[in-house]
Structure 1
Amino acid sequence: MLAETICCAVSAAGLGIAAVTAYRRRFLKAARITAYALVPLGLVLTGVVEWLSGIVFQPAVWIGFGLLALSWVLLATTRAVERRGAGASGKGPGAVAPAASAPALGGGATGPAARPQGAPAEDFSDIEAILKKHGI
């Protein structure tokens, strides 16, 4: 009841402002204000305000929203842990055996292609010296 009264008061105030604006011969702006002022009144007459206020003030509805949020957090957490575990152990669904790429590398080739995938491409002593210089 209170929500409906507030919406009707807002609509009445908006229509009053629209009337003053029209009196000042700003008809386009007055029509726009009238359109916005009629929205709360339309929501009251269609019953949307009563429905929303019924949802907002019922504790069972908020418990339901809390349970939905908890289930979403649990699903997101389990997916994140699953992805982290699959990437760390290398046994995920898309894991490939290390020897599977050996023929593509040219067998016993020497040089950059024969280097293991995790090996560094160059010496990082200059980077280590810069880090030590800054105390890192």
Structure 2
Amino acid sequence: MIAETVCSAVSAAGLGIAVVTAYRKRFLSAARIAAYSLVPIGLVMTGIVGWLADTALSPTAWAGFGVLGAAWLLFAGTRAAERRRGGAGAGRKAAGRAERDAVAPAASAPSLGGASRPAARPGAEPRSGGSSEDFSDIEAILKKHGI
């Protein structure tokens, strides 16, 4: 009963503020304030406020919230212990092993060179065919700055 009265008073006060705002020629703000002020009375009319008031004053409902909180703490605690221990068991280990034993691990990696250019050998020196003109702009900028 008190919750319905408070919601009705809040709605009446909000509508009064909306009228004053509309009088000041701020119609968009007045419409927004009126919309917000109609929410509490709408909740009273649908019965949600009565249900919430009954729930807030019910010891059984508070015990239920406590049980839900304990369940959440158990879930969070087991997740933290699982992470600290280093995984979820065999599932992650098998996935890691499969990744290491891949047939072509670099097959999906993008290639840096063209398709016709052969791969560089570890002991081979790079070719200087077109690389000098590629770096000429960079060299000019570095010389300009005295580097």
Which of structure 1's runs of 4+ aligned residues deviate more than 2 A?
A: 78-85
CA RMSD in angstroms comes to 2.4
Q: Residue in 2 aligned with 1:27? A: 27
TM-score (norm 2): 0.56
Q: Residue in 1 aligned with 2:40? A: 40
Structure 2 gaps of 5+ residues are 102-147
Q: CA deviation at 1:7?
A: 0.5
Q: Which structure dedicates a bigger proportion of its chain to helix?
A: 1
Q: Residue in 2 aligned with 1:104? A: none
- Whichever of the two has the greater Rg, that structure is 2
Q: Deviations over 1:55-91 (max 9, x none)?
A: 1111111111111111221232233334434x3xx9x
Structure 1 gaps of 5+ residues are 102-136
Matched position secondary structure for 1:68:
helix
Q: Residue in 2 aligned with 1:7? A: 7
Determine the C-alpha separation between the residues in 2 that align with 1:6 and 1:63: 27
From the superposition, tell whether residues 78 and 31 of structure 1 become closer, same or farther in structure 2 (CA, over 3 Å).
Answer: closer
Determine the C-alpha separation between the residues in 2 that align with 1:34 and 1:4: 18
TM-score (norm 1): 0.60
The count of aligned residue pairs is 95
